[in-house]
Homo-oligomer: A and B are copies of this chain.
Amino acid sequence: MTSSLSPAAPSPAGPSRRELNKAATRQAITDAALSLLRSRGPGSFTVEDIADAAGISRRTFFNYFSSTDAALASVTHGFLDNAIQQFRLRPAEEPILLSAQAALMALADPMTVAPLAELFTLTQQSALMAHSELEAWDHCREQITAVARERAAGTPGADDELYLRALAGSVISCGKAAMEVWFARRGADLSPASLAELRQLLIDAMALLGSGFTAVQPPSPSRSDSRSS
């Protein structure tokens, strides 16, 4: 774990050696966990297996993650933290649903989605959505609530907790629903056509939410037209 390169840190005052080491260890752990998930399937390897594969002690594993579940869920966490970051970048005046849609669009690229897609397929498409997986989504929900709350400080009508929480929760649920449907339809297919379908599903989901789920009865051709690429 201790790469002894030239001791001088480069001039661009980046993260310190300690931070780099920690990040590398963290990455080594999740890589090892994913590798074991690929080779043995879910639930058939232990913390010690991961620690051995990552070249660290069992105790150190627990300094980074509280369980094998949590190590795997770091993939989801990374994805969703990314989403939050994109979400924060949106202008404060923009309607929240549009911000969410835009943030999600920014994530529908192969590099970002690939780890999550693989995780989903390897864990049997959310058959038994792991505990930590649910926690990751819930954590994201809280983040969105917080951002919405900040924005609402200026907006007169959107100031109550019910509105904020209900909206944030619904956004998360719809985003999750879109990804689940996509995984169910396409598996780990990351082709441009498949990613276009994912984007369309995310747009459709946000549209459903924005319309109060009333756009059902009329079979309007502009609704969920995701099947035709």
Contact = CB atoms under 8 A, between A and B. Distances in A.
Interface of A: 96-97, 129, 131-132, 134-135, 138, 141, 155-158, 160-163, 165-170, 172-174, 176-178, 180-181, 184, 201, 204-205, 208-219, 223-224, 226
A177 B201 contact: no
Contacts of A174: 166, 169-170
A175 to B, nearest CB: 9
Nearest to A178: B162
B213 A155 contact: no
B166 A178 contact: yes
A157 B219 contact: yes
Q: Which 8 A-B pairs have the closest CB atoms?
A: A169-B173, A165-B177, A212-B212, A157-B216, A170-B170, A131-B131, A166-B177, A166-B174
A208 B166 contact: yes
Contact of A210 (B178, B212, B223): B212
A179 to B, nearest CB: 10
